[in-house]
């Protein structure tokens, strides 16, 4: 092998997809402004002094185009000097935070891609690399069944395999040579571990032959000799002066001329001895005479142009890479697929064993014993291969919220495969366009429903493998369904063995110390959002689920827990000061802004949903205008209102004004609102589902429609219809509630003897004709109403009739008229409701139809109504409609009459 091979190691190669270091190009949205850093050599600063450059940067910062830290206040009609000042100060803190991040990371994609380096990763040089952040540890090792749980065999110590100043430990797990195999001749030999085939598997040439071809193609005849021996001339000059034939005394030495003069003299004396090819350009370089200005050199322009035109022999370089077949033949993995392992840490308080924070597959508790991580590196034939493309993001969302574990009919934990087979087709048939999964991220205690997360990068092993979850997401995409996840970054489980609490023996690794580090009521730990390494962990976690599992969005759970030091449990009066006083955690808000900016920059079609009971101002406003940058916000007050009405208020005392005020949401942001009549909270958090409240045991005791059943069915449909159509462009329903599941959800706990009898869904109810089939039929038609007519995506509601006496609500969305009569007994034969357009209106959805378990009070010949030219509700025309008690109708303008 020729000596010029040493130059190849300095060629910057673009990583291949088989390496964990792949960088993908990203397209930034126009609204996202990330600070950019341009690195320049001091010699190319265009003659600007540091003060001039500082003034220029300061000027840019003070007047960035399109940035207004208080821009959304005017839009929402908020006039409050104190809050405006707070937003400006928060924006300055955000800029400082971004600058601090860019001192540590190349860019924000790098900040959000820690999973490419940290954790367990296959290296192309027949090994597995492990990295972990444990700043409080003194020693780090990987223990597992692959090394008999030895704390010394695979270790990292300072001065050994790696420990940097930020507390990141690095361990190399070398693959093992098979018996009779010899080590690779090239210490940098790479393997394409993923693909069975590449040139390396079938190339009969030796490495020497490959590199010789590279040298022959890259170097011109005779050129490589002088590049490889770049000190030859210098050595000859030195020999002339100090060698055995050189001057022996100071008198003979005389004055030593400067280097340039010596070189020119030597070149003139040896011009006849120069055996270089005459076609080679000159490589003579000298500086421009300025002291220390080593970057400004004068060289031959022809030589420079010729050198820059050269292309490194990358093709030959990659020809030395071998494929997986060659790797399997020669090596066995240092840590095999499926191995159990933990990280062993020696700390000031003694040795600890932990599940790595970045582990991607975890068994949190094995038969009461300590949990462990599972090394997940399936061979190519077992790795899931994606089939379907992601669906396009719709203009409105119809979200089906589900929990995989309780999605089966049997009293046991259901699997991803069960969900794919039974639930996904139902979601599609029911008319939804997105499924939102709760409890998918690994958690130790099943009864917590997945909200006390222990391992943020791991899919819950109780439902299946990572490949199973990939198949679930892919199958959903094949059905045209987006897949959202409930993401819990507002707090973390307090477990020390499998979670992050006291991870490295210190109390300030991921979480705050003292009282601030603990949730006041839930016993969970609170993240330290101002720490760059914690931000690195959380932002990378969001990006991980999108990159690895192709999820389409996140519902950020319980933001009030993180945004306020009182965890959102204080009494809110509506005073703006409550959103910027001493109890507001500015660092948490900055994290949410960074999360939204980074996610939308890396994945422009991502959907982020804010679940904040306090409805913090600017949740869905652009970050460039002082907002937090979410796409939708959840309005939980609607569900609380319905639950209060059903449990505590007589039907005749329901307030129509309160219904409308609650469902309309935040002024100026109603189009970004996500509403639900009930989600998992009602049925999982110890309470009853609406169907359980409305029906009780009525369904079990009666097979015919009676007053109690009629009331329950009527309110069930009306509550859903008005919640779905009066608000924003997003609606959510929890699994089973669409057909009136008569039982609540109760996870197995000690209080119920760990019973699974209520931790499931009774899908068999849909196999028998009756109320449940009828409610599902209404749900499908309600979803189709928007799917076909795009009602909630094309228009915002114009609420023009709210009457607390008659208990009637009416509003328009484009050419569609919605009328609700909540009165428990009063029906109206000719109820006047205003409309703008004169013409014929036809009923396209009626909750009182018999096919929906209604009374069928409106005959077919009464389904079309003509307008009357009379001003009602501020409109030029009106309809005189039949309104049965506890019923709702949707009219569509089918014919316009011109006067």
Where in the sequence numbering do the catalytic residues fall?
611
CA dist 730 and 461 (Å) reads 31
Contact at 8 Å (CB) between 230 and 283?
no
Strand partners, 801: 810
Residue entry with tokens 């198949």: 471
Alpha-carbon separation of residue 821 from 173, 626, 776 (angstroms): 70, 41, 22
HEC string of 107-149 equals: CHHHHCCHHHCCEEEEECCCEEEEEEECCCCCEEEEEEHHHCC
CA dist 872 and 886 (Å) reads 23
User: In the β-sheet with 808-813, what is the strand arrangement from edge to edge?
Assistant: 798-803, 808-813, 816-821, 887-896, 839-846, 864-866
Length of the chain: 899
Q: Which candidate, 542, 749, 568, 549, places its Cα nearest to that of 629? A: 542
Contact at 8 Å (CB) between 559 and 610?
yes
Strand partners, 354: 343
3-state secondary structure of 889: strand
Q: Which candidate, 516, 421, 403, 513, places its Cα nearest to that of 463? A: 403
Q: What is the DSSP letter of 423?
A: I
Residue entry with tokens 């982020």: 608
CA dist 682 and 734 (Å) reads 10
Alpha-carbon separation of residue 314 from 12, 211, 306, 518, 532 (angstroms): 10, 11, 18, 54, 37
Contact at 8 Å (CB) between 94 and 530?
no
Phi, psi of 801 (to 5 degrees): -145, 110
Residue 542 tokens read as 């969001």
Cβ-based neighbours of 305, under 8 Å, separated by 6 or more:
none
Q: Which candidate, 67, 70, 30, places its Cα nearest to that of 617? A: 70
CA dist 121 and 143 (Å) reads 16
Residue 462 tokens read as 């109780």
CA dist 67 and 65 (Å) reads 6
CA dist 748 and 755 (Å) reads 5
Residue 90 tokens read as 């928060």
Q: Which candidate, 118, 124, 125, places its Cα nearest to that of 140? A: 118
Strand partners, 878: 834, 868
Q: What DSSP string runs through 794-834?
A: H---EEEEEETTTTEEEEEETTEEEEEE--SS--EEEEEEE
Residue entry with tokens 């808000």: 589
Q: On the CB side of 806, how many CA atoms lie within 13 Å of its CA? A: 19
Contact at 8 Å (CB) between 843 and 889?
yes
Please state, as a whole number, how many other Cβ atoms lie within 10 Å of the Cβ of residue 689: 22
Contact at 8 Å (CB) between 831 and 823?
no
Residue 759 tokens read as 């931790």
Q: Which candidate, 610, 612, 615, places its Cα nearest to that of 576? A: 615
Contact at 8 Å (CB) between 660 and 723?
no
Q: What DSSP string runs through 219-234?
A: SPTTHHHHHHTTTHHH
Strand partners, 484: 436, 553
């Amino acid at each position: 092998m020729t000596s010029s091979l040493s130059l190849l190691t300095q060629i910057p190669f673009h990583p291949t997809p088989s390496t964990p270091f792949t960088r993908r190009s990203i397209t930034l949205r126009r609204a996202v402004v990330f600070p950019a850093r341009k690195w320049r050599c001091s010699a190319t600063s265009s003659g600007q002094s540091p003060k001039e450059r500082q003034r220029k940067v300061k000027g840019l910062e003070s007047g960035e185009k399109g940035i207004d830290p208080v821009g959304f206040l005017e839009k929402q009609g908020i006039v409050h000097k104190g809050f405006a000042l707070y937003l400006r100060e928060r924006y300055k803190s955000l800029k400082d935070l971004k600058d601090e991040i860019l001192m540590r990371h190349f860019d924000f994609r790098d900040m959000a891609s820690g999973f490419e380096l940290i954790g367990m990763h296959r290296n192309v040089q027949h090994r597995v690399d492990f990295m972990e952040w444990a700043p409080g540890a003194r020693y780090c090792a990987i223990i597992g069944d692959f090394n008999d749980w030895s704390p010394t065999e695979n270790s990292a110590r300072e001065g050994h395999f790696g420990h940097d100043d930020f507390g990141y430990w690095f361990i190399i797990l070398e693959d093992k040579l098979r018996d009779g195999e010899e080590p690779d001749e090239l210490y940098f030999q790479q393997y394409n571990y993923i693909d069975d085939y590449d040139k390396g598997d079938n190339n009969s040439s030796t490495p020497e032959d490959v590199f010789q071809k590279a040298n022959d193609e890259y170097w011109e005849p005779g050129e490589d000799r002088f590049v490889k021996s770049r000190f030859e001339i210098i050595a000859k000059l030195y020999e002339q002066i100090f060698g055995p034939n050189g001057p022996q005394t100071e008198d003979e030495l005389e004055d030593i001329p400067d280097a340039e003069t010596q070189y020119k003299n030597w070149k003139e004396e040896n011009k006849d001895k120069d055996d270089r090819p005459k076609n080679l350009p000159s490589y003579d370089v000298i500086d421009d005479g300025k002291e220390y200005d080593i970057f400004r050199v004068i060289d031959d322009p022809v030589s420079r142009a010729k050198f820059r035109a050269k292309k490194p022999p990358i093709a030959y370089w990659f020809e030395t890479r071998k494929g997986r077949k060659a790797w399997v033949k020669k090596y066995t993995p240092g840590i095999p697929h499926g191995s159990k392992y933990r990280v062993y840490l020696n700390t000031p308080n003694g040795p600890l064993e932990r599940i790595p924070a970045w582990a991607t597959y975890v068994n949190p508790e094995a038969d009461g014993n300590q949990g462990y991580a599972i090394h997940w590196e399936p061979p190519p034939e077992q790795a899931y291969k994606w089939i379907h493309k992601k669906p396009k993001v719709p203009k409105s969302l119809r979200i089906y919220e589900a929990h995989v574990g309780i999605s089966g009919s049997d009293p046991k934990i259901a699997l991803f495969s069960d969900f794919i087979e039974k639930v996904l087709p139902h979601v599609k048939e029911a008319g939804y366009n997105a499924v939102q999964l709760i409890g998918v991220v690994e958690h130790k205690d099943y009864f917590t429903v997945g909200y006390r997360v222990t391992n943020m990068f791991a899919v819950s092993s109780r439902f299946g493998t990572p490949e199973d979850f990939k198949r679930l997401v892919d199958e959903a995409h094949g059905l045209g369904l987006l897949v959202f996840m409930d993401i819990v970054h507002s707090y973390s489980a307090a477990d020390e063995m499998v979670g992050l609490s006291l991870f490295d023996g210190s109390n300030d690794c991921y979480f705050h110390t003292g009282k601030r580090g603990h949730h006041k009521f839930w016993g969970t730990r609170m993240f330290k959002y101002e720490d760059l390494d914690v931000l690195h962990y959380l932002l990378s976690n969001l990006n991980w689920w999108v990159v690895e599992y192709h999820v389409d969005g996140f519902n950020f759970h319980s933001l009030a827990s993180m945004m306020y030091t009182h965890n959102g449990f204080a009494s809110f009066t509506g005073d703006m000061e409550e959103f910027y006083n001493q109890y507001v955690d500015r660092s948490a808000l900055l994290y949410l802004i960074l999360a939204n900016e980074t996610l939308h920059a890396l994945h422009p079609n991502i959907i982020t949903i804010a679940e904040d009971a306090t409805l913090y101002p600017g949740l869905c406003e652009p970050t460039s205008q002082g907002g937090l940058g979410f796409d939708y916000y959840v309005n939980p007050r609607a569900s609380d209102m319905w639950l209060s009405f059903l449990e505590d208020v007589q039907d005749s005392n329901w307030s129509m004004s309160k219904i409308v005020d609650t469902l309309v949401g935040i002024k100026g942001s109603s189009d970004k609102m996500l509403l639900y009549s009930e989600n998992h909270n009602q049925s999982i958090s110890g309470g009853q589902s609406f169907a359980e409240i409305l029906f009780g045991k009525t369904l079990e005791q009666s097979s015919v429609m009676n007053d109690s059943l009629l009331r329950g069915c009527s309110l069930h449909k009306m509550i859903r219809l008005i919640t779905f159509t009066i608000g924003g462009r997003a609606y959510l329903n929890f699994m089973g509630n669409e057909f009136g599941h008569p039982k609540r959800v109760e996870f197995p706990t000690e209080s119920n003897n760990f019973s699974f009898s209520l931790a499931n869904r009774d899908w068999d109810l849909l196999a028998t004709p009756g109320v449940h089939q009828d409610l599902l039929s209404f749900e499908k038609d309600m979803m189709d109403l928007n799917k076909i007519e795009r009602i909630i995506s094309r228009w915002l509601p114009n609420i023009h009739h709210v009457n607390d006496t008659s208990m009637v609500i009416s509003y328009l969305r484009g050419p569609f008229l919605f009328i609700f009569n909540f009165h428990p007994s009063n029906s109206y034969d000719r109820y006047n409701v205003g409309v703008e357009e004169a013409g014929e209106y036809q009923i396209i959805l009626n909750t009182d139809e018999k096919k929906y378990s209604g009374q069928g009070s409106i005959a077919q010949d009464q389904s079309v109504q003509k307008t009357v030219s009379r001003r009602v509700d501020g409109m030029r025309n009106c309809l005189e409609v039949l309104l049965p008690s506890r019923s709702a109708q949707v009219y569509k303008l089918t014919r316009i009459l011109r006067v």
